[in-house]
Amino acid sequence: MITGTPKPIEEILEMIEPYDDIIVAGCHGCVTVCRVGGEKEVQVLASTLRLAREASGRKIEIKEVSLERQCDPEYVETMRPYVEDHQAVLSIACGAGIQFLAEKFTATPLLPGINTGFLGVTERQGEWAERCQGCGDCVLHLTGGICPVTRCAKSLFHGPCGGSVRGICEVDKEVKCGWQLIIDRLVALDQMENYGKLKPYKGWNSARDGGPRRIIREDMI
């Protein structure tokens, strides 16, 4: 899922300072699962903002909505009938959802209520960890299902490097060396021959380096 963390309430209050009537928009997708931008978080944020503003002597009207997904036009369009009745939209979806609303509703300022994080997994309640950087050229079949792009701090393709000490990465003592994990897993699977199958270099043209990416599936158009 796409993860995120709430922005500090002080930052949001500063963002909405010019407005007296806004929409707080959540999303039922990833941000609901990681408890940062779903229907409940919309209710809590809207209440918090109303209380803060009223206590400061300047009330704010807030319409609370939560879309099935802010990254799909069919759901975004459901906001169109009323979006211009409000001065701004504070979205607590991921950065993709917020930008999609901004593209669709060009006359209304869009404000981000969360900081979008990474593509990750729930390791336990309240703890998420990165697993994928969307490089566009997956090699997990050769690396024991552990991603060298994400799990190695340097995104090396033939690690471990000299910064790996007893399975721990030099960047942080809490970070396991991705390549140590890969080697251990390949040994356990009796697949060490896969280590030699890795490409001598990785082409990054399918990753972010080529600018914003687009997927076109002709079979679905």
Q: Which is nearer to other proteins, 11 or 123 (CB)?
A: 11
Q: Smallest Cα–Cα separation from 36: which of 5, 9, 72?
A: 5
CA–CA separation, 63 and 83 (whole Å): 10
Q: Which is nearer to other proteins, 106 or 125 (CB)?
A: 125
CB 62 → other proteins: shortest distance, Å? 11
Q: Which is nearer to other proteins, 12 or 186 (CB)?
A: 12
CB 50 → other proteins: shortest distance, Å? 6
Q: Which is nearer to other proteins, 50 or 185 (CB)?
A: 50
Cβ burial 184-198 (10 Å sphere, 16+ → b, else e): eebeeeeeeeebeee
Q: What is the number of other CB atoms lying within 10 angstroms of the CB of residue 121?
A: 12
Q: Which is nearer to other proteins, 43 or 99 (CB)?
A: 43
Please report, for residues 52, 101, 158, 197, 217, the alpha-carbon distance to residue 203 in angstroms, rounded to integers and kept in the order given: 50, 33, 14, 15, 22
* Strand residues in 68-214 grouped as ranges (E): 88-91, 110-112, 114-124, 127-132
DSSP state of 149: H
Phi, psi for residue 102 in degrees, rounded to 5: -65, -35
CB 72 → other proteins: shortest distance, Å? 26
CB 107 → other proteins: shortest distance, Å? 30
CB 56 → other proteins: shortest distance, Å? 8
Binding residues vs other proteins (CB under 8 A): 8-10, 40, 43-44, 47-48, 50-52, 54-57
